[in-house]
Amino acid sequence: MSALAHVGGTSGTTGAGPAGDAPPQERAGRRWLPYLLLLPGGLWLLVFFVVPLLQLFTVSIQSQFPGYPGYYYRDVNFSNYLRALTDFAPQFGRSLLFAALATFFAFALAYPLAYAMAFKAGRWRNIMLIAVIAPFFTSFILRTVAWRQILADDGPVASTLNALHLLPGGRITETAAAVVAGLTYNFLPFMVLPIYASLERADARVIEAGGDLYANGFTTFRTVTLPMSMPGVIAGTLLTFIPAAGDYVNAELLGSDGDKMVGNVIDSQFFRVLGGFPTAAALSFTLMALILAMVFVYIRRFGTEELL
Amino acid sequence: MRGLVRAARTSQLSRRSLLGGATLGGAAAALSACAPPAPPAGGAAALKLPDDLSDTEKVVRWANWTAYLDYDEDTKQYPTLQAFIKDTGIQATYSEDIEDNDAYFNKIAPQLRGKQDIGKDIFVFTDWMANRVIRDQLAQPLEIIRMPNASNLLDSLKDVSFDPGRQYSLTWQSGFAGIGYDKARLGREIKSLDDLWQDDLKGRIVVLSEFRDTVALVMQSQGVDITQGWGKAEFEKGVAVIQEKLDQGYIRKIKGNSYLEDLKSGNALAGIVWSGDLFILRAETENDNWEFVIPESGGTLWSDNMMVPITSTHRRNAMTLMNYYYDPAVAAQVAAWVNYVCPVTGPRRSSPRATPSWPRARSSSRPRTTSRRRTSRASGRSRPRRTRSSAASGRR
């Protein structure tokens, strides 16, 4: 999320650029206006993003006070990063894998849904929109806890599947599949809404023109509709992947002890391990940097002008 | 920050200078704010206590665990605490802030070490964490002379290793870790850990994330005396068993207080659990088949201890409150509700019904082992039920 905030901040500053370079004879008040408008947001970012980030960084390179577990002194100790990454590489990899899988499944579910909402729903459109947004009205932790109840061994889903011998492990909760399913479910609206927005904006006449030019339905979709919805797809995948990679609630509630993600490690290093602050900070910082780098590569490769 | 705003308003700002100023200001603020607190001075350094404002500020703020004080569902009040407020005029606020030793300690530790008020005058930690709090000089010494009722503390708890002579802490409640299971559903009895690792329970076992309990139970099943004479080798042998059972799929998950939800939903049929929880489970599921047993090889006995945080400015009010709860009549009232082992001697005689079964070995010189006796008991009366949030439900 913070990565996104950062991107947002940058684009905001760029937007102010032309006004700042305005010719000098312009009235002073007008020249300052963009900065005045930027001030609240800028201060907000400064206090709640830049300062905590610096603080996080100083924590990530501090050292344990010898002989006093749980106490630290300020240091420049980058071995924290090395140790954190070697010790928790599996969880790191799992986070990226689960987030990628969840993004894929969310895309597979969301695109037809958004397509139906944009082109086929007719008067059902608003109801479908509400159905997509409504889950936001309850806390997502509560919804995940509810999943635990629904998927419990004695619950309707697991007992039905077990009766049909369709469940290899005999259970649904405490499996990696449950974690990916939970992530997919929790971030699905973030995928649906941007795709829907870009499809809904698409000019229907352009799509019709595809048919007029003797393209069949699939070719029209591939060459006309899909490219037009790409900004929504990019935004949706980012909005799903980034929070999913940092999520720990789903792995905590739906996964087993072998399905922990990097968020769980940060949580336990921070709250449960004496002297774990630097490790937790180093992992947070690495995760953030890694996601930021991946996002930039992704946008460079697939991105469109409309996004940034 | 105000200076920065003024600077931003008055000077001809370029974007670069604004960003530069912001970065500099941020860096300066971060560097001045984030210095990690230094460890306590070693040796006999005098503890610097904050001024006590108890005479002018009649308040005491108490942080405790979930479902750990008598509660009246109808009036939404804690009867004994209301009586205390009425008697003393000290406004006591009670919050169920603590759901886990590690999590709560790590949440307040930075403030405690930085000597910033955490907004609490009493907190309650289990023995080993109390040890850490006292060792790091994060608790204030108590004045026994102000707490005449403290002499009612059970003899065996008067001289504990982490706080000889009880200078910093007083026991709140004690309890056991052992095995809990649904006797009717399982169709057999569990007497030892080996009975737990059986194929009909594969993937249906939860164990406590409190490894002092889980590992201790396993180590005892391996013949280790957990009170003395064991080291890293024995500990790692115990952990290896847990890892093995986890890899083989016997243990479904290592859990904190939320293991109760798994027992309720049927995900787990048995587990290593805390004694009082099984009574809660019986009451909430209205199923008397939930059994609590201490394995034949032994279980663990723990105590939770009240302490005054180093930042508290109401230490005398806190001591008044502790003294109040060591009145045998009040202690009996609490014990009858929470179903744990009461550390106050009086109520054992005055009200035997309120006294949970208390194994004989308990009064030996080794306060941390328990006898082989089963401690479950049929509790006929229904326990006052409370609404419990699923995430932060009562442990033990």
Write down the pLDDT at residue B82.
Answer: 94
User: Which candidate from B22, B34, B39 shows the least CB-CB separation from A68?
Assistant: B39
For B59-174+302-362, CATH gives 3.40.190.10
Note the pLDDT tens digit of each residue in A37-78.
Answer: 999 999 999 999 999 999 999 999 999 888 888 888 888 999
Distances (CA, A) of B191 to B161, B269, B332: 31, 15, 31
**Among chain A residues, CA nearest to B41:** A68
Contacts of A16 in chain B (CB under 8 A): 15
CA distance B287 to B280: 10
CATH number assigned to the domain covering B177-300? 3.40.190.10
Burial of B334 (0-12, 13-18, 19+ CB in 10 A): buried
Q: Print pLDDT tens along chain B (396 aa).
A: 454 444 444 444 444 444 555 555 555 554 555 577 777 765 545 678 888 998 899 999 999 987 788 888 788 899 999 999 999 999 999 998 887 888 899 889 989 988 899 999 999 999 999 999 999 899 999 998 999 999 999 988 988 989 998 999 999 999 999 999 999 989 999 999 999 999 999 989 999 888 889 999 999 999 999 888 899 999 999 999 999 999 998 999 988 778 888 888 888 999 999 888 888 788 778 888 999 999 999 989 999 999 999 999 999 999 999 999 999 999 999 888 888 889 998 755 444 444 444 333 333 333 333 333 333 333 333 333 333 333 333 344
pLDDT given for residue A18 in this prediction: 46
Residue written as tokens 């076992």? B205
Asked if the ipTM is above 0.85, the reply is no
Q: Which residues of A touch B8 (CB under 8 A)?
A: 35, 39
> Contact at 8 Å (CB) between B219 and B266?
no
Instruction: Quote the minimal CA–CA distance from A184 to chain B in Å.
Output: 22
Residue with the bigger pLDDT between A204 and A131: it is A131
Instruction: Determine the Cα–Cα distance for residues B249 and B198; give it in Å rounded to an integer.
Output: 11
The verdict on a CB contact (< 8 Å) between B39 and A58 is no
Q: Is B253 exposed, middle or buried (0-12, 13-18, 19+ CB in 10 A)?
A: buried
Give percent of chain A with pLDDT exceeding 90.
56
Say whether pTM exceeds 0.80: no
Residues making up chain A, counted from first to last: 308
Q: What is the pLDDT of residue B117?
A: 92
CA distance B394 to B160: 26
pLDDT (0 to 100) of residue A219: 92
Among all chains, which residue has been given the structure tokens 């500099």?
Answer: B24
Residue B80 and residue B325 in contact, taking contact as beta carbons nearer than 8 Å:
yes
Domain residue ranges of chain B, discontinuous segments joined by +: 59-174+302-362, 177-300
Spatial distance between the Cα atoms of A234 and B77, rounded to a whole number of angstroms = 53
Encoding tokens for residue B299? Answer: 């279980």
Among candidate residues B218, B213, B203, B214, the one with its CA nearest the CA of residue B268: B203
pLDDT, chain A, mean: 86
DSSP label of A136? G
Tokens 């205390």 -> residue: B84
Alpha-carbon distances of A49 from A4, A183, A215, B18, B310, rounded to whole Å: 11, 26, 50, 16, 32
**Looking at per-residue confidence, does B32 or A97 come out higher?**
A97
pLDDT computed for residue A171 by the predictor = 87
Chain A residues at the B interface, defined by Cβ less than 8 Å, are: 13, 16-17, 20, 35, 39, 42-43, 46-47, 50-51, 54-55, 58-59, 62, 65, 67-68, 70-74, 141, 145, 148-149, 152-155, 169-171, 173-174, 256-258, 270-272, 274
Contact B57, B119 (CB under 8 A): no
Q: How far is A304 from chain B (nearest CA, A)?
A: 26
- Give B232's Cβ-side CA count (13 Å radius): 0
pLDDT interval class at A3 (50, 70, 90): very low
On chain A, the residues whose CB falls within 8 A of the CB of B390 are 145
Tell me the C-alpha distance between B338 and B336, whole Å. Answer: 6
pLDDT (average), residues A165-178: 87
CB contact (8 A) between residue A58 and residue B107? no
How much is the pLDDT for A5? 42
pLDDT in tens, A239-288: 999 999 999 999 999 999 889 999 999 999 988 888 899 999 999 999 99
Q: Do domains B59-174+302-362 and B177-300 have the same CATH topology?
A: yes
Domains and CATH numbers, chain A: 88-302 (1.10.3720.10)
